[in-house]
Structure formats: structure tokens, C-alpha cells
A and B are shown apart, each in its own frame.
Chain A
Amino acid sequence: MENLIALLVAAPLLGAAVLLCGGRRLDRSGHWIGTLLAVASFAVGVLLFADMLGKDAEHRALHQSLFSWIPVEGFQADVAFQLDQLSMTFVLLITGVGSLIHVYSIGYMEHDERRRRFFGYLNLFLAAMLLLVIADNYLLLYVGWEGVGLASYLLIGFWQHKPSAATAAKKAFLVNRVGDMGLSIAIMLMFTTFGTFAFGPVLESTGETSEGMLTAIGLLLLLAACGKSAQVPLQSWLGDAMEGPTPVSALIHAATMVTAGVYLITRSGAIFNAAPDAQLAVVIVGAVTLLFGAIVGCAKDDIKKALAGSTMSQIGYMILAAGLGPIGYAFAIMHLVTHGFFKAGLFLGAGSVMHGMNDEVDMRKYGGLRKYMPVTFVTFGLGYLAIIGFPGLSGFWSKDKIIEAAFAYDDGIRGWIFGGVALLGAGITAFYMTRVMIMTFFGEKRWQPDESGNEPHPHESPKSMTIPMIVLAFGSVFAGGLFSLNESFVKWLEPVTQFEHPHPVISVPAITASTVVVLLLGAALAYVMYGRKPVPVTAPRGSLLTRAARRDLLQDDLNHVVLVRGGEHLTRSLVYVDHTMVDGVVNGTAAGFGGLSGRMRKMQNGFARSYAVSMFGGTAILIAATLLMRAV
């Protein structure tokens, strides 16, 4: 069974290689090859999962060592895979949701002449992400990590003829590089501290290492997670990444990429458990991002960007939970999986809406679409109910647990703060998702002919698109309940992540009740604001907060002022210093020597007699000196 692990990565990697190297002769069959290999990877995952279920909990982890990658004295890096329950969860999510998105893309990208290449990139993305989650050491994880960055760059900028897409791809890549830097430095620190990269030895020997070093490593890992998972302060790329095709957005937000940060923190749980300060930082980042994303989501009129804000917020929940330690890891992963279902469903639904609306993304130009796209409406609606945490659906089970755990951060004020933030986030989530729902599917139809006079004719999408949406809707509805039945998911993960029951500062039923109340309040507020009166087609000016939120809470402006301007000023001053002082010294020296040698050169006229005079004069001076010495 161990030998099958490599197949998980090999299948999509083979697909990427074949599709990208195969050339135009694969244009007509490429999407089928890509989808088939993604499904094959999923099948292998299911096979391994079934095998894993058959063993008892302590012996489920599989290990496969392929070859020794960098064998140097004192520096051993192997290409080896480790498939435990945590990795298994990710593998199933990535390959399962990924395969659905592949199927969906067949319909969505039908008219794109570069579809073969698109599927090649999708396969590459899957392969990189799978490598990331099944690597058994940090160095190999880093390979997958960078591979994910590369694939996301290629996919976000897939429509490279649009300058905005090219810029967004570059932005995503650059911002990710900041996080990658954190991960690479963390890996170097690990090597100097532990002498190895492998998960096992590193995570087992945290007890013998100083807390300061662990805190440093933890903070660097957090920086890496912030980059990949779009957490404050490295979240700015996520909104722009919507320039990519919608399936890419779904893939990035639901199954791959942004979950990598959560995986990294959960996988490195032992390090964070031993470094409470780093954990606190993780929690703070999660809490801040949670509100940040939610507020941004409230103000966006672009349906994909509203969903992007939502993703940021939900990942904030996961990071928050992962920062809570053993009481939160399992819930972070559980929310990740349920989020994978409903966010993928929501994005595919949004893509379906856009597909029917001539690629219009402004929700103010939608309205009343429930009559035209019933399947999309129902699946999107189920995803909506799941994400706001409507009792009984997936989101409720996972998010409610996170809120409980947040209240249990400690007995004092921090528990109240983080719990309160999580609770407030649930309310805002309900608000902005209800807003999206109402503006898209209810109310009057507001679409108009575009500049060239083409009036959109909303219609239901083809089967290849609706079937994945239906499957995901099922997941959105039932996954959470299934996982929570008898705490099966927590028990499944417990051998890897440990688990402690949270003890919140207030009682669990009270938290559940207040969560439900808050989400109803949020939904009701949205209904009052958008459902009771017609939605204006052009956006009103809005309050200061709304305007700021429309600009991603001034994140780009902040980056511009701090990094771009600051960088420019720094560069200019450095250039000035370089030109005046460094070049001055260098050029001055050179000019001095040049002038001196110009003079010296004149003495070298090539005439033997001139040299003879020099010699003779020198001899005379020597004799004079000798006589002088004797006289003295």
C-alpha cells in the first residue's frame, strides 16, 4: 500500500507533463486526460483511505521513501512521503474537490482555445499541493509550496492578454515570495537547531529546544502561512487573484493554496504548542483577518471579490483555531474541509452565474436570477446556508466548534476577546452572504445590454458544470453533520494533532444559542438593507468604512505608501549615496591614479637616453647620500 503514495503525485504530474509538452495534437483530448488523471489520483486516495480505515488508529500512518535527494555529510534530504490521517484528509479534499473542479472546467473553459494548457496547469497545481501535504520533511514540503506558488501564478494570469490578470498574477507571486522567505528561513533555522528536516525528528525534539528558538521558527512559519493563506498583512493578493478563471478561484480558495498555511501550522503543531507567544501571534493574525475579510466582503459588488473576502475571513477562522493549540487543530481542519465543500460550491455557482450573464461580475447587475438558473440557485443557496452556519448544515458544526474553542483560549479576558471576535465574525458572515444571495438571486432583474448591445440571456449551465455543483452541495449539507457524529472527525485526527476538550468561559449551549442569534441578526439586517428596497444599479457612495472596504480596507494603499514609496525613497537615497560617496571615492581614486599615471607616462618616453639619465641621476644621488652619511 505504501507504494501507492507516490502515485498520488505522479498522476497529476504526468498529466501536467503530457499536456504541457504534448502540443496542439492534444488540444481535443487534453481536458479529458487532465480530468482522468485527477480522478485517478482521487481513486488512489480513496483506495489508500479505505486501507487506512481498516487499521487501528495508532498504525494508520504510511511511509514511503523514494530516493535520497541531497545526500551530503550531515545534510540528508530524502524524497519521502508520509501519509497519516492529516495528510489523508487533505489528499481526499484536494483530489476530490479538485476532480470536481476539473469536470466543471470542461464546460466552463469550453470556448477557450488554450483549454489544454489550462488543464495542464490545473494538474500541476494538484501535483504541487499533493506533494506539499504528503511530504515527510520540510524541504520537500517547500518544493510543493513553491510549486503551488508557481501554479497559482500561471493560473491567475491565465488570461494574460488582460493586463489586470498579468498584474494580479505578479502580485500574487510577489506577495507569496514574502511568505516563502519566512518558510525558507524557518527551514534553515530548523536545520541548525535540529540538524534535520524530517517531520518526525523535528516535532519530537521540540521539548529539548529553547523556547526562543521555537518562537522564532513559529513566527517565521506564521509568516509563510500568512503569505499562502492570505492572512493579514499578506492578504492583498487574494482579491486580485479573482482575475483568473472562476474554476481557478474555486481551486485556490477551496481545495489548494490557501489551505496550505493551515496545513503548515497544524503540521507544525508541536512547535507552536511549545511556543505560546507564537501561538498568540497566530491567534491574533487569525482574529484580525477574520474581521478584515468579513468587512471587505460586505462592501464588494463584484461577486467573486465578495466571495474572496469571505474566504479570507473563513481562513482567518481556521488560523485562529489552529493557533488555539490542541483544542483547535481538529476543528481548524474540519472547518477547512467543510469550507472546501461549500466555498467550492459557491465559487462554481458564481462561475455558473457569470457563465449565464456574459461574464458579468457586478452583483448590482444581476437580480432575480433564481427563476433562470434553478439548479445554480439551489446549490448556491445550500452553500450559502452552510457558510453562514445555519443549524444542521456543515458550516454550523465546524464554525460553532471554533467559536467555542476561541472562548476557551484562556479563562480571562483573552477568551472573551477572541470568542467575541469569532462570534461577531459569524454575524458579519451572515450579513454579507445574505447580501450576495439577495442581490444575485432575488429582487428585480437589473441586467442591461452591454456597450455592444448584447443583452445577457441568463440560462442554466451545462451538465458538466451543474453536476459538480450538486455533488458539492451535498457535501455542504451533510459533511459537517457526518464529521460531528460521535466526534468521528476529531477522533480520526487525534493521533496526529492531539485533542483536548475546550472549556469555554461561558457554557456551550449559550455559545451555540448566541451564534444562532447573531447570524439571524446579520441575515435580517442584510434583508432589511437589500431585500426590502430595490438595489441601485450604480453603487451609492456609502459610508467611510464602506468606501475603505471597497478598496480592500486600504491595504493596497498602505502597501503603496509603506513599501513602494518607502522603497523608492530608500532606493533614491541609496542611489544618491552610491553616486556621490561610493562612486566619488572610486572615481576619485581612479581619476587620481589616472592623472598620476598620465604624468608618470610622460616620463616613459621610450628613449634609452632618458632612462640612462634617470639611472645616472639616481647613482649620483646615492653617492651623495653615502658621502653625506660619512660626513655626518
Chain B
Amino acid sequence: MSPVNYLYLAALLFAIGSTGVLIRRNAIVVFMCIELMLNACNLALVTFSRMHGNLDGQIIAFFTMVVAAAEVVVGLAIIVSLFRSRHSASVDDASLMKL
């Protein structure tokens, strides 16, 4: 089996995650789908690292994880405060930009 298959898997997971972002209304689930997309990227980076024979890809994946952690902290805080003020975690409720 060629390791390229890992890349195909990453692409598939990324597409599934993005579709989830588009169709789910619960902000938490949307956020989870974003995490799924990040993980798909990480898988691709790790695979690249293996294919090229150096560890830079893994380093970048590591940084991605750190950034994702920071993002989760802030994002969940936003969701919580949003829920406090609007009593809803639906992304559609925050449609104030509508004319």
C-alpha cells in the first residue's frame, strides 16, 4: 500500500468536516467539524513528513495542535458568552447582518 492513501483519507475527512460546517446549526458541532478539518490537515502533514523523510511536517502538525488548542479555548468561550446573551447556540440566530 502506498502512503498516498493517507492523503486521500485526509482529503476525504477534510471534505466531510467542511460539509459539516456548512450544514450544522449548533455552534458546538460546527466547531467540532472545524477540529475534524484541522485533524485531517495534521494527518496530511504527518504523511508528508514520512514521505519526505524529515520531521518538519510533524513540527508543523505540532504547532497546528497548539494553535487548535488556543482556538478551542477562545471559540468555546465565545460560544458560552453567546449562549448567555442569546439563550441559543444556533449560528443562524446571529443573523443581524440581514437587511
Contacts and interface: CB of A to CB of B under 8 A. Distances in A.
Interface of A: 601, 604-609, 612-613, 616
Contact of A609 (B92, B96, B99): B92
A607 B99 CA distance: 11
Contacts of A605: 95, 98
B21 to A, nearest CB: 6
A608 B30 CA distance: 12
Interface residues of B, number: 13
A612 B22 CA distance: 7
Given A605-B95, A609-B91, A612-B21, 16 more contacts: A604-B97, A605-B98, A606-B95, A606-B96, A606-B97, A606-B98, A606-B99, A607-B92, A607-B95, A607-B98, A608-B91, A608-B92, A608-B94, A608-B95, A609-B22, A609-B92
Contacts of B94: 608
Nearest to B21: A612
A146 to B, nearest CB: 56
The SS class assigned to the B binding surface is: loop
A199 B19 CA distance: 89
B92 A604 contact: no
B88 interface: no
B18 interface: yes
Interface of B: 18, 21-23, 25, 91-92, 94-99
Contacts of A606: 95-99
A614 to B, nearest CB: 10
A623 to B, nearest CB: 11
Nearest to B94: A608
Nearest to B18: A616
Nearest to B23: A609
Contacts of B21: 609, 612
A609 B25 contact: yes
Contacts of A604: 97-99
A205 B99 CA distance: 71
A605 B21 CA distance: 18
A613 B94 CA distance: 16
Contacts of A612: 21-22
21 contacts: A601-B99, A604-B98, A605-B98, A606-B95, A606-B96, A606-B97, A606-B98, A607-B91, A607-B92, A607-B95, A607-B98, A608-B92, A608-B95, A609-B23, A609-B25, A609-B92, A612-B21, A612-B22, A613-B22, A616-B18, A616-B22
A616 B94 CA distance: 20
